[in-house]
Amino acid sequence: METAEGRPAVAATLRALSEALGGPAGLWVKESSARNLRHRDFLAPRAALRAAFSGGQVPPDVIAAVTSASGPGALRVRGCQQTGAGLAVQLRRPEAFRQLLGPPPATQPPPAARPGQEQEPGQEAVVLHCPALRRPAALAPRHLRPVLLADHLAQLLRAQGVGIHLVPAVSKQGSLEVLRQLRVEWPCGGAASPDTVSALKQALSRCPYAAACEPGAASLPEDVVCKVHLKSFIQQQGLAGYDPNLDVLLVTEGKLRSLAELQQAVLQCTVSDPTVLPGSRSPDAEGQGSRCSVVHVVSCEEEFQQQQMDLLWRILDPGAPWFPAPCPAVQSPPEVSCRGCSERCLTPPTCPTDEAWTEVIDTLTVAAIRFELLSTAHRSQASSISTKGTKSGAFVMYNCARLATLFDTYQRAVEQGTYPPLPPASTLNFSCLREEGEWLLLFNYLLPFPEVLQQAAQLPAPSKGLRITANTEAVCKFLIQLSMDFSSYYNRVHILGEPFPHLFDQMFARLQLLGAVRDVFHRALATLHLPPLSQI
């Protein structure tokens, strides 16, 4: 993973340790539990050492090399010793605190592109297609999961510098209102170019797999253009992974308009590099462009229809769009109960009269829906929405609000002269951070957070068949676990102590740590289009 200059990373540290040990990169394990972190930060397990060294005994010179391991972005080692569990490494923790909480790097990454913003020439681009938004009726609860997943994936990809094109443009007022209430940023209006639709019809007229429908067939829709023999195409091309029930597709004007809209989105991602991603489109266009891939985010009920469209596109255009793992439909409509309201509602309630509290309840409602539908792997079912417990969106938003309250309280105390202002980060004494919970927050959350975002945004080529296994649940799970560990620490440790000068060093270091935790909350919630709350 590429990191900002001077910022340590888990991958870079593992790489340095592996080079020092002379073994494969997967030999080391990063510890994460509070119990193990009392004794070590990384471990080369005993079983792995047996395979790498005679009798599993690591030579002293290798242990010395591990102790002095270094490299760009690698955290420095304080000590290394062989134990019953394996080769245990502990890091220089005060130095790690200083590297991660000290002054930021001089160069900052460019801001993420906003929806509809054009990508830079040569930049990788992804067309995210959400067929649920093509439905003639307004969005129903069972359609929300693929929509929210596509919206979240778009934000994650933008954060990694990928240009995003969202398809289809939504024109139905009812669907637009639901998207607005769920804080989904999606393009609206627009339609496929008639010229593109006409070009597709001409391609169909020359297609060996297309045939005219029998005239006067009463059972056929009025807008049927022709029929296409998909099974013949699958067999001739030797394609694998498609539903065996795919046979004949009735091509309608609506299907061609959908396909035209996808083609128009891809044509905005012109390709100058002849080496493109597997399954990506390569439109004929001159000049600098972008590598472009197409990802269809579908529910189980939409998968068969999207496979039909995927094959039709392959027939009319030799390039092949990516096809993702389906997002299972919600088993039952998600409902959210709001305090003081006898109705059970999907949209944010309007019970409170105060606008600020209305906004809070609105945000909590959206958070409950998003976390319930996105914290589960997209290959698994989501059956209900809960606002209780430590694994809910409400709990995450509550802890985000606790941080806001902490810093508001501190700022008021500074204005009243109770505490001095927070000194520059370069002058703080991070050796004061000795609580187990403080290292847990830094090592499990602040350190790996950029890598979590990158891994969640990865779209690997399908290992087999048509589906992509994307870690779209990673950010929600990360926020839930962060909230649990932060809450445990915050309930146990008093941050704003008595206003005695000899206690200020520890208080300042803790405030700097929790300020970084707050920033992680805000950046992670931004990928879900959730604003941080200052009160609940």
State pLDDT tens for residues 87-115.
999 999 999 999 999 987 655 444 444 44
- Residue 6: band (very low, low, confident or very high) from pLDDT cuts 50, 70, 90: low
Per-residue model confidence (pLDDT) at position 409: 96
pLDDT at site 106: 58
CB 188 within 8 A of CB 169: yes
pLDDT at 263 over 70: yes
Contact criterion met (CB below 8 Å) for 119 and 290: yes
Measured between alpha carbons, how far is 148 from 179 in angstroms, rounded to an integer?
Answer: 9
pLDDT for 388 equals: 59
In the predicted model, what is the mean pLDDT of residues 397-414? 96
Query: pLDDT averaged over the chain?
Result: 83
Whether the CB-CB separation of 403 and 521 falls below 8 Å is answered with: yes
> What φ, ψ does residue 199 adopt, rounded to 5°?
-65, -35
**Is residue 326 scored above 50 in pLDDT?**
yes
The per-residue pLDDT for range 21-72, each reduced to its tens digit, is 987 767 899 999 999 999 999 999 999 898 888 888 999 999 999 999 999 9
Mean pLDDT, range 374-378, rounded to an integer: 80
Model pLDDT, residue 384: 52
* Tokens describing residue 490: 């915050």
Which residue is listed with tokens 């990063």? Answer: 30
Of 252, 254, 256, 255, nearest in space to 198 by CA:
256
Is the pLDDT higher at 331 or at 497? 497
Q: Are 517 and 482 in contact (CB under 8 A)?
A: yes
Q: How confident is the model at residue 117 (pLDDT cuts 50, 70, 90)?
A: very low
Residue-level pLDDT at 251: 92
Predicted confidence (pLDDT) at residue 349 exceeds the cutoff of 70: no
Burial class of residue 456, CB neighbours in 10 A (0-12, 13-18, 19+): buried
CA gap 402, 407 in Å, rounded:
9
User: DSSP 3-state helix, strand, coil percentages of the chain (rounded to 5)?
Assistant: 45, 10, 45
Lowest average pLDDT, out of 191-195, 313-317, 444-448, 525-529, goes to 191-195
Query: Considering only 125-134, 320-329, 427-436, 476-485, which range has the smallest mean pLDDT?
Result: 320-329
Q: What is the pLDDT of residue 209?
A: 92
Residue 383 has pLDDT above 80, yes or no: no
Distance CA 336, CA 356 (A): 20
**How do strand 163-167 and strand 125-129 relate by DSSP bridges?**
parallel
pLDDT band of residue 387 (cuts 50, 70, 90) is low
pLDDT given for residue 461 in this prediction: 76
Average pLDDT over residues 10-15: 94
Got the DSSP string for 405-442?
Answer: HHHHHHHHHHHTTSSPPPPPGGG--GGG---HHHHHHI
pLDDT of residue 4 exceeding 50: no
What six digits make up the tokens of 280? 């990506």
Q: Which pLDDT score, from 0 to 100, does residue 429 have? A: 96
Q: Kindly list the strands in the beta sheet with 125-129, ordered across the sheet, starting from the edge strand earlier in the chain.
A: 163-167, 125-129, 292-296
> Would you place residue 118 in the very low, low, confident or very high pLDDT band (cuts 50, 70, 90)?
very low
User: Is the pLDDT confidence value at 145 over 70?
Assistant: yes
Cα-to-chain-centroid distance, residue 95: 30
pLDDT over 90 (residue 420): yes
**Can you say whether the dihedral through the CA atoms of 366, 369, 372, 378 is positive or negative?**
negative
Q: How far apart are CA 188 and CA 119, in angstroms?
A: 19
Does an H or E element contain 403, and which? helix 393-415
Neighbours of 302 (CB within 10 A): 22
Give 262's Cβ-side CA count (13 Å radius).
30
List Cα–Cα distances, 240 to 144, 256, 441, in angstroms.
29, 24, 46
Per the model's pLDDT, the better-predicted residue between 301 and 211 turns out to be: 211
273 vs 217, more confident:
217
Of residues 175 and 522, the one with the higher pLDDT is 522
How many other β-carbons are positioned within 10 Å of the β-carbon of residue 237?
12
Q: Output 4 or 100, whichever has higher pLDDT.
A: 100
pLDDT in the model for residue 451: 96
CA distance 379 to 458: 16
Give the model's confidence band at 459: pLDDT under 50 very low, under 70 low, under 90 confident, else very high. confident
pLDDT, tens digit (0-9, with 9 covering 90-100), for 187-198: 988 777 888 888
Q: What CATH number is given for 347-526 in this structure?
A: 1.10.730.10
- Cα separation, 468 vs 229, whole angstroms: 26
Strand 86-91 and strand 248-252: the pairing is unpaired
- CA 159 to centroid of chain Cα atoms: 9
- Return the pLDDT at 290: 56
Name the residue among 489, 476, 495, 513 with its Cα closest to residue 394.
Answer: 476
Distance CA 338, CA 347 (A): 10
Peptide bond connecting 168 to the previous residue in cis, omega within 30 degrees of 0: yes
Would you say the C-alpha torsion 151, 152, 153, 159 has a positive or negative sign? Answer: positive
d(CA 422, CA 404) in angstroms, rounded, equals: 16
CA-angle at 151, arms to 298 and 487, nearest 5°:
115
The band of 352, judged by pLDDT with boundaries at 50, 70 and 90, is very low
Distance CA 408, CA 495 (A): 13
Is residue 273 over pLDDT 90?
A: no
Tokens for 410? 């501190």
CB neighbour burial string for 355-375, b if at least 16 within 10 angstroms, e if fewer: eeeeebbbbbbbbbbbbbbbb
With a cut of 90, say whether residue 138 has pLDDT above it: no
Q: Phi then psi for 78, rounded to 5 degrees?
A: -90, -40
4-13, 287-296, 400-409: least confident range: 287-296
Q: What is the pLDDT of residue 377?
A: 75
Report the C-alpha gap between 285 and 270 in whole angstroms.
Answer: 6
Q: What is the pLDDT of residue 105?
A: 61
Which whole number is the average pLDDT over 248-270?
87
Instruction: Name residue 203's amino acid.
Output: A
* Better-predicted residue by pLDDT, 121 or 369: 369
Query: What pLDDT is attached to residue 28?
Result: 93
Helix (H) or strand (E) holding 311: helix 300-316
Which residue blocks in 160-206 are alpha helix, DSSP H?
173-181, 194-205
State the pLDDT at residue 401.
95
pLDDT the model gives residue 493: 95
Whether the predicted pLDDT of 78 surpasses 60? yes
Q: Max alpha carbon distance in the chain (Å)?
A: 92
Amino acid at 42: F
How far is 221 from 219, CA to CA, in rounded Å?
7
Quick check: 5 pLDDT over 80?
A: no
Give percent above pLDDT 70 in the chain.
80
- pTM (2 decimals)? 0.85
Structure tokens at 499: 């206003």
Residue 111, exposed/middle/buried by CB under 10 A (0-12, 13-18, 19+)? Answer: exposed
Helices of type H across 69-143: 93-101
* Per-residue confidence (pLDDT) for residue 195, from 0 to 100: 87
